[in-house]
A = this chain, B = another copy of it.
């Protein structure tokens, strides 16, 4: 395979806005070319010629004009009309300066089930195209009336036997039907005119609706696009890797980050194919720290809460208004340098232990992650930091490295022993994503950090459905639960900015809860109904149930083990802590308890509002 240099393209239908918006976004994200989706051109005030010129200025080739529908296997008068229609579109293609037209297998009631006739008429179309230096890429739609598999479209193209007629392969149409793509590698590469790539979640629904609403960029869904594309490249395909993704969310999202997300999906796919020159993702070994952006009002409140949780302030940054709080291996930085609403707190940065922070950052940069400029003095560590899709900074650290490299060297450390409450480290983070960025975030953490996504789950929260997808490293030491509302929330929902959760680990959650209560931690009370229901559902040992109820500790069990966990109130309007104890091989994060926690947090807010308090 010598496709290291495959060009990368994107169909304009993948992105939101006018054609002008889309082309700008594609060019800025570094795409080599575009497919022009007819509807985008038709609605544009630019003529086809102007669009062609504009693309040239942006450095974008126009690799495909699409789609042309319902051409083949029709009666002579319909054929005459269809040829006229084709010639008029060839005019447009000449103006655009593009050579290949996508023709979809017919869904027309005018067509008949006759492969010979289809081949003959496609041959004729190719003849017309060739006369103008153009060519036809024939694609089997998954819902094509007669032709709906790539094997069938290939039989027709082979029978038509015209050099200007070849195949367009679309991963969605092929994989959604469960076709085996292996035979693609037996098709002569020169007959593969175009390759459209789309991923998708596995859904049990009408395939046309699935295709039009739920496609995703490669790496965001459930299709094995690496194997699929491997077969296409093995066949000798030398055209661009081009994305064609119809997705309800992307259709209405800012096209600039969406185009970057799209480009990242192709870079990661090329890496999986072994044809990308990316530094491999260095191994990660846990959460180094979480930095909270606080202000003078919220900082003492959060510090009180940390003290209540058994943390101690153990360091002060040498040059910045940053304090280090620690307990076990859990480290929280409080940074008062930022700006936000008065009294607010939020996760400003997450740091992970990397075997090679510089390589981590280099990889991130290659995958189009924004590199964050860092002010640091000459004697301070140059922390490599990038921005995640939700704006959170991600730092790559080696805490154990020689002093000069370690971020800890920037702190004046004290050995002040904290009160201690059994916290051993940071177990995972729960980061609610802005609505438009859920799938983008999955791919970001997967591609850039090398984390693996678990399946998407969904649960009913008091103010609407929530979906959740956890990304984790193979050892489970870096673990981030990405959450998002299933629908963008309106005015009714509590106006809390996306909540953020820091889950601390304990070997004895009940003991930790008792100790934290003694220390005055602001723990969340769980209603008695929960424990009545828990008794009915899982029947924990009565003594355990009593202890759980007394300490407002929640419980879950699966076939591998048990989970005990509890929560603090929401601090600074957005952040809360969780303490988790896993017993045995319990696999989840207690998502079944999330609605209980959310309702209790809502009660906390309602109570505060009732008090007309100015607190968070």
Which chain B residue has the least Cβ–Cβ distance from A87? B536
Q: Let me know if A39 is at the binding interface, CB within 8 A.
A: yes
A86 nearest CB across to chain B (Å): 8
Counting every copy of the chain, the complex holds: 2
- Among A38, A42, A209, A254, the most chain B Cβ lie within 10 Å of the Cβ of A42
CB-CB under 8 A for A527 and B44, given A209-B205, A248-B486 = yes
CA distance A489 to B600 in the complex (A): 29
CB distance from A148 to the nearest CB of B (A): 16
A268 to B41: give the CA distance in the assembly, Å. 46
Are A42 and B88 in contact (CB-based, < 8 A)?
A: no
Q: Does any Cβ of B come within 8 Å of A462's Cβ?
A: yes
List of B residues within 8 angstroms of A519 by Cβ = none
- Nearest-neighbor residue (CB-CB) of A48 within chain B: B529
Question: Given A18-B462, A205-B209, A252-B485, is A595 in contact with B88 using a C-beta cutoff of 8 Å?
Answer: no
A75, CB-defined interface residue at 8 Å: no
Bound-state CA distance A487–B487 (Å) is 7
Q: How far is the CB of A362 from chain B (nearest CB, A)?
A: 31
Which residues of chain B are near A529, meaning CB under 8 Å? 41-44, 46-48
Residues 63-90 of A contacting B (Cβ, < 8 Å): 81, 84-85, 88-89
Question: For the complex, is A603 an interface residue (Cβ under 8 Å from B)?
Answer: yes
CB proximity to B under 8 Å, residues A1-53: 13, 16-18, 38-39, 41-48
CB distance from A229 to the nearest CB of B (A): 27
Are B92 and A532 interface neighbours, CB within 8 A?
A: yes
Residues of chain B with a CB closer than 8 A to A252's CB: 463-465, 485, 487, 489-490, 492-493
Compute how far the CA of A85 lies from the CA of B538 in the bound complex, rounded to whole angstroms: 9
Answer yes or no: A537 CB below 8 A from chain B CBs: yes
Is A528 interfacial (CB-CB < 8 Å)?
Answer: yes
Q: Are A254 and B603 in contact (CB under 8 A)?
A: no
**Contact between A38 and B533 (Cβ–Cβ < 8 Å)?**
yes
Task: Report which residue of A255, A436, A460, A530 has the largest number of chain B beta carbons within 10 angstroms of its beta carbon.
Answer: A460
B85 x A536 contact (CB < 8 A): yes
Does the CB pair A490–B435 fall under 8 Å? yes
Interface centre among A251, A489, A539 (most CB of B within 10 A): A251
Contact B492 A254 (CB under 8 A): yes
Q: Given A203-B205, A251-B465, are A527 and B488 neighbors across the interface (CB < 8 Å)?
A: no
Residue A249 at the chain B interface, CB threshold 8 Å: yes
In the assembly, what is the distance between CA of A213 and CA of B354, in Å? Answer: 41
Residue A161 is within 8 A (CB to CB) of chain B in the complex: no
Among B16, B489, B528, B603, contact of A18 (Cβ-Cβ < 8 Å): B603
Given contacts A464-B252, A527-B43, contact A16 B492 (CB under 8 A): yes
Complex partner residue of A487 from B44, B488, B532, B596, CB under 8 angstroms:
B488
Chain B: minimal CB distance from A522 (Å): 17
> Is A599 at the interface (CB under 8 A from chain B)?
yes
Residue A602 is within 8 A (CB to CB) of chain B in the complex: yes
A sample of 27 inter-chain contacts (CB < 8 A) reads A16-B462, A16-B492, A18-B462, A42-B530, A42-B533, A45-B600, A46-B529, A47-B528, A47-B529, A88-B535, A88-B536, A92-B532, A204-B205, A204-B206, A204-B209, A205-B206, A205-B209, A248-B465, A251-B460, A251-B463, A252-B465, A252-B490, A252-B492, A252-B493, A435-B490, A436-B492, A488-B488
**Top 6 closest A-B pairs, CB basis?**
A252-B464, A205-B205, A204-B206, A43-B599, A88-B536, A254-B492
- 15 extra A-B contacts, CB within 8 A, seeds A46-B529, A204-B205, A251-B460: A39-B460, A43-B529, A43-B600, A81-B539, A91-B532, A203-B205, A204-B209, A205-B205, A252-B463, A252-B485, A252-B489, A252-B493, A253-B492, A436-B492, A487-B487
